[in-house]
Structure 1
Amino acid sequence: MNLEFSFLDYAIIGAYFLIVFAIGFYFARQERSSTEYFLAGRHVGWFAVGASLFASNISTEHFIGLSGTGYVSGLATGNFEWSASICLLILGWVFVPFYLKSGVFTMPEFLERRYSSASRWYLSSVSIIAYILTKISVHLFAAGILLKQVMGWDIYTSSILLVVVTGIYTIAGGMSAVIYTELIQTFILLVGAIALTWIGLDKVGGWSELVANVPAGHFEMFKPMSDPEFPWTGVIIAPYIVGIWYWCTDQSIVQRVLAAKNIDHAKSGTVMAGFLKILPVFILVLPGLIAYALQQKGMLLPGQKISPNDVYPVMVKTLLPSGFRGLVVASLLAALMASLAAVFNSASTLMTIDVYQKFRPEASEKSLVNFGRISTVVLVAVSLFWVPLVSVLSDQLYVYLQSVQGYISPPIACVFLVGLLWPRANAKGAAVVLWTGFVLGLLRFVLEIIHKSSPFTNPFLRTVIEMNFMHFAILLFVISILLLIVVSLATERPAQEKLDGMTFEYARNVELNEEYKIERPAHRQQNLVASAILGVMLLVLWIVFF
């Protein structure tokens, strides 16, 4: 049975849409250069950077997937959230200085400067395809589940409406519209998620009642090595491999720090986002445990079995009073639209800077912006075409998403990280790693699908296919590092221009934009103190929930 929405619920949802469109069209009225359209003129402050990093990451699959996996397995899935806080610190302190000083628009452009144009083409192609096949599909699938359960809309209606609405303000306002709508969306999604968690915890009878009505293992962040989903051997390493790829090298994330005013604001934004990433364990995973406890007490859906994907929608329908329903639905819409806008804007940036401008280097600023808008329209159209296919996705959505990322992330994380740390890494080594990693990851994914319908009998194949996806990510990362070292040492040294300003050893060998080059000592000190506080908080939380 669908919710009966009050006038207040509809008013809150309506106000949300009005704010989003107002921001989008405010920026649409301004003249736009390519820097302004794709990177918001590089004048975004730290608070907006941090909020944008958080909002572009949190989408409806987090509401669906984290609560569903929390319902089944407990808090262990939250390791991906807390490890993200560490990865955000790595982004700010390790990668940001190189990205901003180089003045690049895109991550493939950075890879070309460090290695070769072949690496740039690889990353551009894989990123655009991955955005369509994983990010857009997963966002729409999760939104379809939520809005069907909560609003009664079918997946086609909800997907088409939200893709079109998000596409309009993204096309109109560019990166500025995306970032400043994400600032508002961060506030809305946090308020909505906190409200549901608070009400759910009150319904279950408080923390002590929650602990008494869920299995003890649900509160453990580190499961036994034999655990099929979250073995501790995978949890302590794999999230950082995936996280370095996602938080430190993925265009849809890094584009936010590229838009920062300077290194100080970029670092402060990453630290702020790191603090925000502590919250999903308590406002998105914990509701899954609350739902489990309520179900055990016969207070949610007595006598019925709840699918993991239905946990959050059922809680919204069952627990929330009038007014809060509209607030939570607005938070769900905010999460989806922020993530979709990030994908649309980043993919159009890749298509414009890494494809169009490569073929037309003399293109004017106006033509670059126009092509960016056209490419966003194309992405919207492709997304609409993809809608009928999203229903084939996995039941445990978040595990599906993390496993796919585990297959594609290790080689990319390797070439970025090793490229900064080891000057001897060269273009041939990077090319071998990227393509070998791609083939191995794709092979594992395809064989896994075949194995589910027709199990293999070969012991070696079964071991590789049935290996936990986190263990596979670790193995692939190690293989990638070894390949990069061996091939680089067996071939010629990279040219000096590929190293100056692009590795730690040669970071000072080139004069770069003075505005980005110098950090202010007072701001650096503040960022160091805030980073240390964040690190201590995470350590305490891991100890408490060990």
Structure 2
Amino acid sequence: MGGGLRLDMNALDYTILALYFVTVLGVGFAARRAIRTSVDFFLSGRSLPAWVTGLAFVSANLGALEIIGMAANGAQYGMMTLHYYWIGAVPAMVFLGIVMMPFYYGSRVRSVPEYLRLRFNRPTHLLNAVSFAVAQVLIAGVNLYALALIMQALLGWPLGVAVVVGAAIVLTYITIGGLSGAIYNEVLQFFVIVAGLIPITVLGLAKVGGVGGLMDAVRDSRLGEAGLHTWADTGGSANPLGAHWIGIVFGLGFVLSFGYWTTNFAEVQRALSARNMSAARRTPIIAAYPKLLIPAVTVIPGLIALVTVEGLGAESGDLQYNNAVPLLMRDLLPNGVLGVAVTGLLASFMAGMAANVSGFNTVFTYDIWQAYVHRDRPDEYYLRVGRLATIGGVLIGIGTAFIAAGFSNIMNYIQALFSLFNAPLFATFIIGMFWKRMTPLAGFWSLLVGTLGSLATYLLYKGGVLHFDSDLEESFWGAGIAFALVVVVAGVLTPLTRPKPDRELHGLVYGLGGVDRDGDMLTGDRAWYRSPALLGGIVLLLSALLYLPVF
């Protein structure tokens, strides 16, 4: 298999790509007409139906990192990659909808950091706002770098051109259309991404003799039988992931997963834009249903690449795990279908980066600029600041894009970021939400110490002082250590410091009331089949049942 990654694109393929660019920009311009206030720009006026916010919720996560990274993990770790979906996403998404969204939406906060200001104090608020802003531009940079490398390899675009073109399109439709432009494009992008990935799975399975042929080929690969199971041999580290079940359940399934899905404002922002409480609560639960099935177009192609691409897994060059999907596109797809697949990759990049940038501009404007730099200005002023913050976020994302260059598997880098930024934040949130006695000082120091603990774990691992079986194992334990530190610091400092009075915590913590779960519901939203608890219970049952064939 020579020839590198270059695709033989023809006029039809480029026409499909051009039509997609035009459509995306058109959506941004159309959304501009609905923007009159900063709430319209940052939260879509809190007016969107649940099916739109639900698809945008899952699409915002279905970025280039998800597609390229999870296919890479499928090739490297086999079926154990399914943990990132069925235990590492769905339970947390349901928890967000049923338990946490009533407090986010009911308190009318405009961002996750703003909740921390109300629950604790301004120092905790500022710490989270700054750390979130940093995390978003880092992750946006990874999205940008990943896709630029792919476009360079597949289409021959110079790296700089690919970076600038992709960034410019995202910048244009968010600056013009705000969050509505991002969300409606994310709905479109969801279908484009899936349409681009399904042919890879179908044609790949046909090439290896169907599901049975793929399983036989995996058994004969370097992964062996272990590549077809999710929980087998997790009592130790003799498994492809190099992880113990404790690290998988507690580190990935609890701390990393709940930390990402319940406190990452880039995701929560989509639910906050919903038209009422019921729609907000159903947003992440609706998103959980397609999340169950996405492994069919990410993990399975990774396995197909493992058994069909000779030499896959090199440390550098075209045969890195990160190139599993591009290599399959080159080898399997005819023209026309190829154009759809390339467009799907571009759409995935835009969905991921748009979520990062729209989260960044909201937190920067509301939680940093308005709160600590220029307060009490007219609403038009903050709308202008938000558009300028969008430009700044994209430019910084371009600058941080090349940090990802040192990682042959970009999902390892992303998991390290989640361990550092999301795990301690989730621990602080969950304790503060369920323990009204937790004090503002305990909130600040818990978050800070947990973050520093995760950072120290990562640095000691990279320095050779701590030893783990893999980078992913380090991120699982780093997240667990951060969570444990938050619990300890909160437990020690809370009895020594003064809590907030109960009257200031209504609607923010359990047991004090102040949350109206049904007051703004539309008549149709009261139907039994729209119950968040029912929808959440069904998707949790499905996630457990899906494990059975690959246990």
TM-score by length of 2: 0.91
Contact 1:66 1:285 in 2 (8 A): yes
Farther off after superposition, 108-117 or 494-503: 494-503
Return the offset for 1:282.
1.5
- Aligned positions of 1:463-482 closer than 5 A: 468-482=474-488
2:472 maps to 1:420 = no
Return the offset for 1:19.
1.1
Return the offset for 1:512.
9.8
Match of 2:221 in 1: none
Q: 1:519 to 1:480 in 2, by over 3 A?
A: farther
- Aligned positions of 1:176-325 closer than 5 A: 176-214=180-218, 215-222=224-231, 223-224=233-234, 225-226=236-237, 227=239, 229-239=242-252, 240-295=254-309, 306-325=319-338
Match of 1:142 in 2: 146
Runs of 4+ in structure 1 off by over 6 angstroms are 298-301, 463-467, 510-513, 516-519
Distance across 1 between alignment mates of 2:434 and 2:32: 41
Q: 1:89 to 1:475 in 2, by over 3 A?
A: same
Q: 1:512 to 1:353 in 2, by over 3 A?
A: farther
1:155-214 CA distance string (max 9 Å, x none): 322111101111011001101101101110011101111121111111111011101011
Residue 190 of structure 1 aligns to a residue in which SS? helix
Contact 1:349 1:372 in 2 (8 A): yes
1:469-507 CA distance string (max 9 Å, x none): 212322321221122122112222322233211111012
1:328 corresponds to which of 335, 341, 351: 341
Distance across 1 between alignment mates of 2:438 and 2:185: 40
Q: 1:242 to 1:277 in 2, by over 3 A?
A: same
Q: Which residue identity does 1:99 align to in structure 2?
A: Y
TM-score by length of 1: 0.92
Q: Which residue identity does 2:123 align to in structure 1?
A: A
Contact 2:305 2:312 in 1 (8 A): no
Distance across 2 between alignment mates of 1:9 and 1:463: 45
Q: Which residue identity does 1:28 align to in structure 2?
A: R
Q: Which residue identity does 1:533 align to in structure 2?
A: I
Q: Which residue identity does 1:425 align to in structure 2?
A: M
Contact 1:52 1:179 in 2 (8 A): yes
Return the offset for 1:305.
8.6
Return the offset for 1:330.
0.8
Farther off after superposition, 99-108 or 394-403: 394-403
- Aligned positions of 1:44-63 closer than 5 A: 44-63=48-67
1:539 corresponds to which of 529, 541, 544: 544
Q: Which residue identity does 2:550 align to in structure 1?
A: F
Distance across 1 between alignment mates of 2:524 and 2:277: 6
Distance across 2 between alignment mates of 1:174 and 1:51: 17
2:418 maps to 1:405 = yes
Q: 1:357 to 1:417 in 2, by over 3 A?
A: same
Indicate the RMSD between aligned Cα atoms, in angstroms. Answer: 2.5
- Aligned positions of 1:489-504 closer than 5 A: 489-504=495-510
Q: Which residue identity does 2:502 align to in structure 1?
A: Q
Match of 1:484 in 2: 490
Gaps of 5+ in 1: none
Q: 1:5 to 1:245 in 2, by over 3 A?
A: same
Q: 1:404 to 1:505 in 2, by over 3 A?
A: same
Distance across 2 between alignment mates of 1:54 and 1:80: 14
Distance across 2 between alignment mates of 1:525 and 1:260: 15
Contact 1:264 1:524 in 2 (8 A): no
2:130 maps to 1:121 = no
Identity, % of aligned pairs? 25
Farther off after superposition, 323-332 or 238-247: 238-247
Residue 375 of structure 2 aligns to a residue in which SS? coil
Contact 1:49 1:179 in 2 (8 A): yes
Q: Which residue identity does 2:375 align to in structure 1?
A: P
Contact 1:251 1:346 in 2 (8 A): yes
Q: 1:470 to 1:280 in 2, by over 3 A?
A: same
Distance across 2 between alignment mates of 1:530 and 1:513: 17
- Aligned positions of 1:157-176 closer than 5 A: 157-176=161-180
Farther off after superposition, 224-233 or 6-15: 224-233
Distance across 2 between alignment mates of 1:539 and 1:168: 42
Contact 1:79 1:221 in 2 (8 A): yes
2:79 maps to 1:75 = yes
Q: Which residue identity does 1:502 align to in structure 2?
A: L
